[in-house]
Amino acid sequence: MAVFAPPTIASETITHIGSFELRNTMLTAWLVIVLILIGSLLYYRKSKKLVPSGWQNLVEMFVGGIADFFESVTGDAKQAKRFMPICATIFIYVLIANVLGVFPGFGTIGIWEEHAGHTILVPFFRSANSDVNMTLGIACISVIMSQVYGALALGFSYAGKFFVNPLRNPLGTFVGILELVSEFAKVISFTFRLFGNIFAGEMLLVTMAFLLPFIAPLPFYALELFVAFVQALVFSMLTLVFFKIAVTGHEEHEEHGGGAVEHAT
């Protein structure tokens, strides 16, 4: 007997390739990558024209808008250009992955499997960011690259942010420990902020579609599209702010660093 089953916290396995488990969120992640590659190839072909039009205009307007926004956050065109490849990639990837999650067929088309005497639907596709492993991976990239940028910009002095001689400055040692803990806390915060919002939205859409199909879910689809954009923007903007803070000297950060965060928020 087929029953309604809400989305599970863990992604579902579609099939096995040898000992490798092919999961539905993984298929969505690959689909997002393919779409980005296709869009990039189309732009590359169009960019050879002297007079821009169509897709080329759209991409250049989009990228130019992101660049201007990043520059307004960092207050430095050079830094914005330096950080843009990672921050813009995170924004585009998270946005497309989130938007795909509300497309028809996501969470509704799949295979029927027997579980505990009931037949439940295992969808072929689910939002990639409804899998905590995906959001954890993006969070690790964000936090690790902030350390890389900080070390490259400040050299060995960057370590002084975390490690202070307790004999010379006991208070500084305590603050350094707090800074170190906060870096790990960023990973947890990033991971569960994105995962929680997307998974909750997925649960809401499935439940509303089951209770009141066709008309009732429409406002919630519009809301989820808005959330998809906001979450992508917040994730990329916070990453940008953390990059900016990482490359700012400790003394300079104490004087001016807070302004960048206030401006970004």
Q: What stretches of 106-216 show up as alpha helix (H) in DSSP?
A: 132-154, 170-211
The HSE-up count of residue 255 (CA atoms within 13 Å, CB side) is: 4
Q: Which of 95, 35, 88, 82 is nearest to 63 (CA)?
A: 88
Residue 115: per-residue pLDDT: 67
Residue 196: per-residue pLDDT: 87
Any residues with CB less than 8 A from the CB of 49 and at least 6 apart, and which? Answer: 56
Mean pLDDT is lowest, of 142-151, 162-171, 192-201, 253-262, for 253-262
What is the phi/psi pair of residue 111, to 5°?
Answer: -120, 150
Q: Which of 17, 71, 13, 63 is nearest to 40 (CA)?
A: 63
Residue 49: per-residue pLDDT: 72
**Block residue for tokens 């002084």:** 160
**Block residue for tokens 């189309």:** 42
Of residues 262 and 85, more confidently modeled = 85
Condensed to tens digits (0 to 9), the pLDDT of residues 62-110 reads: 888 999 999 998 888 888 899 999 999 999 999 999 998 888 777 777 7
Question: Which neighbouring-strand residues pair with 110?
Answer: 123
The HSE-up count of residue 93 (CA atoms within 13 Å, CB side) is: 22
- Give the orientation angle of helix 170-211 with respect to helix 132-154, to 10 degrees: 150
DSSP letter (8 states) at residue 11:
P
- Give the orientation angle of helix 24-46 with respect to helix 55-74, to 10 degrees: 110
Buried/exposed 71-86: b ≥16 CB within 10 Å, e otherwise: bebbeeeebbebbbeb
Q: How many residues does the chain have?
A: 265
Alpha-carbon distance 100 to 78, whole Å?
A: 33
**Block residue for tokens 């579980």:** 115
Condensed to tens digits (0 to 9), the pLDDT of residues 15-31 reads: 888 888 888 889 999 99
Alpha-carbon distance 240 to 76, whole Å?
A: 12
> pLDDT tier at 144 (50, 70, 90 boundaries)?
very high
Alpha-carbon distance 2 to 38, whole Å?
A: 38
Mean pLDDT is lowest, of 110-114, 181-185, 252-256, for 252-256
Instruction: Confirm if 56 and 43 have CB atoms less than 8 A apart.
Output: yes
**What does pTM read for this prediction?**
0.82
Of residues 211 and 147, more confidently modeled = 147
Residue 116: per-residue pLDDT: 64
244's tokens: 């900016």
